[in-house]
């Protein structure tokens, strides 16, 4: 339970860091994946009994790594092209979409997840349409937001299945970083982007922050998926949304009304409650282990 909440705070700091630096999003993600590979390798070396390529030996591991790599690109595109309130709005939809996954988490966690989405959407819609951000939405930003929500939920589900089938979370995350780096580095290399040294240094520093916090957060979240369930882990995105908003206000000077603060706090509290309730329910009903995977399709 604590792993999910700590991971949410790490993702919040990572989301703020995405907004720093100029240049190609593909190049930034490729750099983040390369640095993330190093971070994941250090984690695998210290705590994983598996080599990273073991995650790619089974179909569930390959699927989870590929989907997670695509999610990284969608997340970077969304956070770098969409204004803060609307990016948070997309993030707030994740728990509700995750409830479409047939992965039961108990009635209390289900209602808490729905409540967290409702509270966040109300506050973020008010924030978005109460400012000029509503006029600065491009088709690319909308497509990135829709893709991010769908891929984020799919990534959680495929990662959950891989872990339940015996793939180590640390190895899976490193495999994700390797796939992303291998796929995106050639694309980034052929893009002709000229940046001032100071801008390049800022982009590299931001990518390093994203790599360290994002990779560690992904390891913690992946490890917690079998016990907590996809909808509950998705509900923890409200904690991430609150941290992202706070980071935007403190670091980037974003504006946030008291109504927005109140709804963000309520959404984060309900998201945390969903994680706690779902973990307790799944452990009590025996749905946190491999046996729950077999019954998932019949629910």
**How high does pLDDT run on average in the chain?**
76
| Tokens 């580095």 found at | 185
Among the ranges given (38-42, 54-58, 138-142, 240-244), the one the predictor scored with the smallest mean pLDDT: 138-142
Q: How far is CA 226 from the centre of its chain?
A: 16
pLDDT band at 285 (very low <50, low <70, confident <90, very high): confident
Residue 77's SS3 state is helix
Residue boundaries of the structural domains of the chain: 2-294
Q: Give me the count of residues in the chain.
A: 299
pLDDT in the model for residue 61: 93
pLDDT in the model for residue 68: 93
What tokens were used for 274? 């969903």
What are the DSSP calls for 63-76, one per residue?
HHHHHHHHHHHHHH
pLDDT in the model for residue 298: 31
């Amino acid at each position: 339970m604590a792993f999910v909440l700590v991971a949410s705070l790490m993702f919040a700091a990572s989301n703020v860091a995405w907004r720093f630096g100029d240049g190609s999003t593909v190049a930034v993600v490729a750099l983040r994946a390369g640095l993330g590979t190093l971070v994941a390798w250090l984690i695998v070396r210290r705590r994983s009994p598996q080599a990273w390529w073991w995650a790619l030996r089974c179909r569930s591991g390959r699927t989870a790594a590929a989907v997670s790599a695509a999610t990284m690109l969608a997340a970077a595109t969304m956070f770098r092209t969409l204004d803060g309130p609307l990016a948070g709005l997309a993030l707030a939809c994740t728990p509700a979409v995750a409830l479409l996954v047939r992965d039961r988490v108990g009635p209390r966690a289900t209602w808490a997840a729905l409540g967290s989405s409702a509270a966040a959407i109300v506050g973020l819609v008010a924030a978005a349409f109460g400012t000029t951000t509503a006029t600065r939405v491009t088709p690319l930003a909308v497509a990135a937001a829709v893709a991010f929500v769908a891929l984020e939920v799919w990534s959680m589900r495929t990662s959950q299945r891989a872990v339940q089938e015996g793939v180590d979370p640390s190895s899976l995350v490193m495999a994700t970083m390797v796939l992303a780096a291998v796929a995106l580095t050639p694309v980034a290399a052929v893009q002709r982007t000229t940046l001032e040294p100071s801008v390049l240094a800022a982009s590299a520093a931001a990518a390093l922050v994203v790599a360290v916090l994002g990779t560690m957060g992904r390891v913690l979240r992946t490890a917690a998926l079998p016990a907590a369930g996809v909808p509950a882990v998705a509900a923890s995105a409200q904690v991430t949304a609150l941290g992202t908003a706070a980071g935007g206000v403190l670091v980037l000077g974003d504006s946030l009304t008291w109504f927005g603060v109140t709804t963000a706090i309520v959404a984060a509290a309900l998201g945390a409650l969903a994680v706690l309730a779902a973990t307790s329910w799944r452990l009590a009903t025996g749905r946190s282990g491999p046996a729950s995977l077999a019954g998932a399709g019949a629910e």
